A and B are shown apart, each in its own frame.
Chain A
Amino acid sequence: MQEADISFLEDSFKKYYFNHFDLIKVPERTSEREFGYQKFNSGMTRHISLKDDKELHLLLMQNVPSDVYCSNAYYTFPNLPMNEKDWKEADLIFDIDAKDLNLPCRENHTVSICNDCNDVSKNLTRCLKCNSAKLEKKSLPCKNCIDASKIEVEKLSEVLINDLAIDEENIQVYFSGNEGFHVYVYGSQFQEIGSRERSELTDYISLRGAIPETFGMRKLKQDRASFPDFDENGWRGRFSKHVFGSKSKRSKIITELIANGYSSFQKTLDDASENIGVKIDPNVTMDIHRIFRLPGSINSKSGLTKIRCDDLIKFDPYVEASFLSDDTVEVFANSPIEFKLKSKKFGPYLGEKVTVPTFAAAYMICKKLARIA
């Protein structure tokens, strides 16, 4: 990113941080957390400990970071090197990202930027100009992606509450600042479990690694009664609703499943996993030393803010998470796809000089689709 773009983003971010201290709060048990931040075109600075909101605001004003992070873990000494921190426990965290949902709409709102010649195009396999395969993909706002991600959040909450006995009040949902959601679970029985245990938990939540026997199918000597009932709890219940469709079809479909055999049932399970399993990023949940984007901070992939979603269904990130100013700025834009922010349409821009509000300019610059003119 060039100097002018960086200083424009830094100015805009700083203004946001200065005007919205109310949105940027340190999490509970602050002094046990590790903080970290990144600046544009620079590496990560981490192992920072902070006492309170004031110290955080000072850090933001002094460093004007591109991204700010905070650990889900609690340590005795958060500012020491990793193996001396003395890990105590960690909140459960989940990342749901539209990019991982394999939605058919993706290619309509994704552009690629060639790493070799910087050409921007809608072709996602090779650069049309220099034929390079080193493409960086950038996705633009899409309502469908957000809606699909919301459904995953709902599915996740259902498993957390019903199967894992998590109190609904201890679940907090945030828009990630780009195209997904971050979910936090506080004070559960899972606070102290390690990474391998969390990995198992992610497999459970994603319905991954299930064997046919769990859902009633056997290799030999079938028993119709061992297939799940329609009203059962947990994955057996969700599976039966997905596969049987209705109570009345249960018997007929069990006959079909048995007739199709064991290995075909495994395929049915894989299909169920794809359809009803919750699509969370396993790497995030099993990481017990992660520094995770701080609520209230700006995501430099988009210029949007990571904010809490009180009413998930109504939530529109492209309206509610855009906090940068309306002051206009002139940019050289190359965004072949139209997008909507704060209910205004922008683009498509085909390598042209345009005057747009700061929030839209920042969005495009963060996506590498524009530069300050």
Chain B
Amino acid sequence: MNIIVCIKQVPDTTNIRIDPETNTLVRSGVQSIINPFDMYAIEEAVRLKEKFGGLVTIVTMGPPQAEEALREAISLGADEAVLISDRAFAGSDTWATSYTLSRAIQKIGKFDIIICGKQAIDGDTAQVGPGIAAFLDIPQITFVKKIEDIKDSLMRADRMTEEGYDIIESPLPCLITVVKEINEPRLPSLKGKMKAKKIEIKKLEAKDLDADPDSLGLKGSPTKVVKIFTPPPRKGGQILEGEAKEVSGKLVELLKGEICL
């Protein structure tokens, strides 16, 4: 079973703190990490490989230093890694990103399953997974919290919904996006780390993709960012003082009207 996992390198927000005095973000020393949802995607792919055999290929589109993320994925049990990097891709929105990734996946070759994290924590769009599926014209199952079974080229999986989950069956090849609940990612292994150090990362540039140049990067992106601003920070309010009984009384008074409405 050939599995492709699409990952993204993002800034590690776990190290971001709010400066209590200015109420702004303290970003110093923020490291780049693999998007947390993609960690579940990698783990699920490796588990499927362990169960059914096959090959796990990790794909990322990003600047040259995204290679680190690919090597980390190898240390977690993936087999091959492809870096899609070119200045022509800079400024891609989700449409252009989906297009570029789908072109690259077609170059990589035959696959049975594509796995993506449900969304990236920096952009939070959740659009690229379904976008890739649409470009490749394959079925998708989004927000998967469990793969029930794969048999006779059919995958059965649970898609999370607001109320619970749907059980969906899809023929292979298909694309799934996964949520945190699907598994607990393993830590890197020593043999994996040694492999990650040595492995040759395959690199794809714009010219390698047989892509329409007008569909790449900023030029190929239908959406344009016109303004970026920091929202006014939420200010801390009133601290209620007193014993449990007293403060509860105060809070009930303050909120009673809001709750009745």
A, B bound? no
